[in-house]
Structure 1
Amino acid sequence: MTRTDEQRFLDRFTMIMSESGYPRMAARVFTAILLSEHGRRTAGELAEELDAGPSAISGAVKYLIQVDMLVRERAPDRRRDHYRVHESAWYGAIRSAREVFRRFEEGAREGVAVFGADTPVGARLEETRSFFAHLSDEVPELLRKWREMPPPASAP
């Protein structure tokens, strides 16, 4: 794989995350760490690799730590923090999506009350409410199944 292939993939995965609602710089930082050889990067390494300023990196790292996608670590004999992907980053992302589903469900429920269930608008809102209620109900079971799965085999 060439550096160009790696850069294209970094850009593509960043775009997937960004289009899924993650802030663009946070998506770039997360992807750069995910793709790093040892699974960790310092802020300086991220700034250099992504050609970004320290404040952009700092803001992205702060966001990713808050949403449990990254972990900050410091080796006892080192002066710099390293950031790595949280071991349950995707689990947490899906778990937090459940809150979004709940908000859509509640909002649609309010809309049905405003427009009436017997109107075309109310019917669409009821379908929306029902859809997000179903997703919200299914997420805990999906997460339970994921937790029960054996970990994937590590790459050599």
Structure 2
Amino acid sequence: MVAPHRSAPAQPPTAQHRFVERFGSALTEAGLQRLPARVFAALLAKDDGRMTAAELGDVLSVSPASVSGAVRYLQQMRMIHREREQGSRRDVFVVADDAWHDMMLNTPNIYAPLTSSLREGVAMVGGPGTQAGDRLAVSVAFLEFVTEEMQQLSDKWDKRRAQLGY
């Protein structure tokens, strides 16, 4: 009689793993897609902030193929960037020490196409003075305002970061 195969007992999650799952969940609740949120949290929690797709897949128990879509999304948001591992053909995904700053400074790239489309849309929905036209126009004004304010906020953060010694 053949003994049934027994897998090794599951290891209890480490504090780092618990952080990744909790922070990933918090980011998901804030609107980020689930896997990109977990990838970002995993990179934040890693001491050097660097991992390959295979390492991310292992840590998050997902396939490297699914990691590919998540890192592409995070790169578009400027939350991480890709580097080539020295002496290798493998890509390494890296989170910046100040990833939030980089992501927030990306607002012009995110908002510019939206603003342009909304601006063109004013005439397409009836023009200024119509409810739809005015709604789109105020959206344009808001996005332009946010873009301007983000640059000023970034300048303030640079000064504050220097004061904090980071």
Instruction: Provide TM-score, normalisation by structure 2.
Output: 0.68
CA distance in 1, matches of 2:62, 2:81: 18
Partner of 1:10: 20
Of residues 22, 28, 35 in structure 1, which corresponds to 2:38? 28
State the SS of the aligned residue for 1:3.
Answer: coil
Unaligned 5+ runs, structure 2 = 1-11
Q: Bigger shift: 62-71 or 118-127?
A: 62-71
1:120–1:52 CA distance, 2 compared to 1 (3 A): same
Partner of 2:116: 106
Q: Alignment length, in residue pairs?
A: 152
Superposition pairs for residues 55-66 of structure 1, below 5 Å? 55-65=65-75
CA distance in 1, matches of 2:81, 2:104: 15
Unaligned 5+ runs, structure 1 = none
Q: Does 1:39 align with 2:49?
A: yes
Superposition pairs for residues 7-156 of structure 1, below 5 Å? 7=17, 9-18=19-28, 22-65=32-75, 67-68=77-78, 69-72=80-83, 74=85, 82-114=92-124, 115-149=126-160, 150=162, 152=164
Q: Are the equivalent residues in 2 in contact too, given 1:108–1:125 (CA < 8 A)?
A: yes
1:56-104: per-residue Cα shift (whole Å, max 9, x none)? 224434554565413436366x897654312342222122222222233
1:148–1:53 CA distance, 2 compared to 1 (3 A): same
CA distance in 1, matches of 2:76, 2:112: 20
State the SS of the aligned residue for 2:106.
Answer: helix
CA distance in 2, matches of 1:15, 1:25: 10
- The structure having more radius of gyration, on CA atoms, is 2
Instruction: Provide TM-score, normalisation by structure 1.
Output: 0.71
Query: How far is the alpha carbon of 1:31 from its aligned partner?
Result: 1.0
CA distance in 2, matches of 1:31, 1:151: 26
Partner of 2:9: none
Counterpart residue identity of residue 134, structure 2: A
Q: Which has the higher contact order (CA 8 A, sep 6+)?
A: 1
Q: CA RMSD in A?
A: 3.3
